[in-house]
Chains A and B, each alone.
Chain A
Amino acid sequence: MAFQVPKLHPNALVAISFLMLLVFAPACGSSSTTSSTAGSTDSLSGSLTVSAASSLQGAFTDIKAAFRKLHPDVNVTINFAASSTLAQQIIAGAPVDVFAAADEATMNKVTDAKLLSGTPTLFAANSLEIIVRKGNPSKIASLSDLSKSGLIYVTCAPEVPIGKYSAQVLQKAGVTITPASFEPDVKGIVAKVSAGEADAGIVYSTDIRATKRAADGVAIPANLNVIAKYPIAAIFKSGNNTAAEAWIAFVTGTAGQSILKSYGFTSP
């Protein structure tokens, strides 16, 4: 009656794995095809995968456009997520050429894993601001206002840089708050405050600028503020090191820096 499932021959396993690779490869946005440079005025070509902290989304998207004008043969893919997530992916072997993190500690994890081809360069700084609902209906003027009763404050888990920084800021200000939620990344905080479901959070100045006035910002005094410094580095295993270096050079150069400024970043 019942038929037997044939035992998988080792060759079959290989074949299946190959098939699975075919299925998955395009989804990974894989890197590393340094192909011929013939016929191109620019020496750079191939594909380049950049993993960048979520807060860099706007700026890096613009930088990508500018970079492509200069190097039209390079196919750039940028993967935006929390720095910690990205570091985790890189350590797990994700095919990435350049990593731009939102803090040095996260970059250090990748350095410690001996996955960098050089030393990280600081390319931008981002200060923190209180994000409040549009028009600031809860009338928040300072950090101490965040402990008002009934106020819904959201943050990120301490593993995420922004979670760690905001905890530092609040500690310095001597403010104790029970957050309503530990969002997985900055976008979660911004989304909940912009939607009006949460009253406040602490995020990067750049994030507030990126909401295009869907939420407002309240400045944090410099003495209490934490300035996040953004490191960038090429990954050792990159199949396209020349393009990776070119990207880093572009980001740290004048063109890249002026784009970053327009998004609210400052120089490190």
Chain B
Amino acid sequence: MTRLRIGRNRSAGLQRPPAAILAIAAIAIAFFALPFIGLLWRVPWGDAWSLLTTPSSLTALRLSIETSLWATALSIVFGVPLAWVLARYGFPGRRIVRALCLLSLVLPPVVGGVALFAAYGRRGLLGDSLFDWFGMRLPFSTAGVVLAQTFIAMPFLVLTVEAALRGLDRRTEDAARTLGASRWYAFRRVTLPAIRPALIAGAVMAWARALGEFGATITFAGNFPGRTQTMPLSVYLALESNPGQALVLSVVMIAISFGVLLSLRDQWLGGSSTSGGSR
């Protein structure tokens, strides 16, 4: 075990992982990379541009971006207070509430869609009230898509933000209170900035999840071009009628998600701010 290693590559030797681990990791990398490489290889690049700019593709793309951004906004507006309550208040049954709020994370999304029917559908618990009060029908509507995406995506944000809130030194907020800050002022000026990296990471993850949401959307909101047919639905349906278009749309989705994940790592998770006295 404690054999002395003397040589010029001493530090390099210490940092290099064992060969077996390297090999297995390489297999894992290939496991992730191959499907995407395969996809790129299959794409009919000659027609890519025309396939991508067909009205149906553009409609689906626009709808997907709109609905996923709405879902992200709703996730932030409702998810941050939820995470706050889960992280800070020890009420009886908190663990149950917490599990409940994160259930859609592990549920098959189709089940999520069915459950949404049971609550907000026409014959659901709230369906009639929603219609009576707001004249609103959620199934088969764009609002229904946003609802389904929010249902599936919000737990990602809640998890990240809750972890950040738990990791926060509460004395910082205490200090703010003793300095004359109300709870709300302390939250806005002290807590929120402190959890900002986690909030951004959580929001981006929720957004990516909303963008890729399929099961709950098609179950709850159906599939109608321009109204509820998002990119993933469009890809799924095009697979049968127009595989080339499906591939091109898939590549666009992958490119968007990949870009977001890359920027997330570099800007917010990796080298955290070391912006000292540069002013």
Contacts and interface: CB of A to CB of B under 8 A. Distances in A.
B140 A157 contact: no
A16 B29 CA distance: 10
A181 B123 contact: no
Nearest to A159: B241
Interface string B216-254: 001101111100110001001101110100000000000
A197 B121 contact: yes
A184 B237 contact: yes
A82 B236 CA distance: 12
Given A181-B223, A182-B224, A159 B27 contact: no
Interface residues of A, number: 33
Interface in A171-208: 179-184, 188, 191-192, 195-198
A188 B215 CA distance: 12
A84 B15 CA distance: 53
A179 B241 contact: no
Contact of B123 (A3, A82, A179, A195): A195
B17 interface: yes
B125 interface: no
Contacts of A8: 26, 30
Nearest to A182: B223
A181 B140 contact: yes
A146 interface: no
Given A84-B240, A152-B140, A183 B26 contact: no
A159 B31 CA distance: 33
A196 B240 contact: no
Nearest to A152: B140
Interface string B95-122: 0000000000000000000100100011
B34 interface: yes
A88 interface: yes
A19 B27 contact: yes
A85 interface: yes
Contact of A183 (B222, B239, B240): B222
A197 B122 CA distance: 6
B22 interface: yes
Given A23-B31, A159-B237, A160-B240, 19 more contacts: A3-B12, A3-B16, A8-B30, A12-B26, A84-B241, A159-B241, A180-B140, A180-B224, A181-B224, A182-B229, A184-B236, A188-B222, A192-B222, A195-B117, A196-B121, A196-B123, A197-B122, A197-B123, A198-B139
Interface of B: 12, 15-17, 22, 26-27, 29-31, 34, 114, 117, 121-123, 139-140, 218-219, 221-225, 228-229, 233, 236-237, 239-241, 243
28 contacts: A1-B15, A3-B12, A3-B15, A6-B26, A8-B30, A13-B30, A16-B26, A16-B30, A20-B34, A23-B31, A82-B240, A84-B241, A85-B240, A88-B243, A154-B222, A159-B237, A181-B222, A181-B223, A182-B224, A182-B229, A183-B222, A184-B233, A188-B222, A192-B222, A195-B117, A197-B117, A197-B123, A198-B140
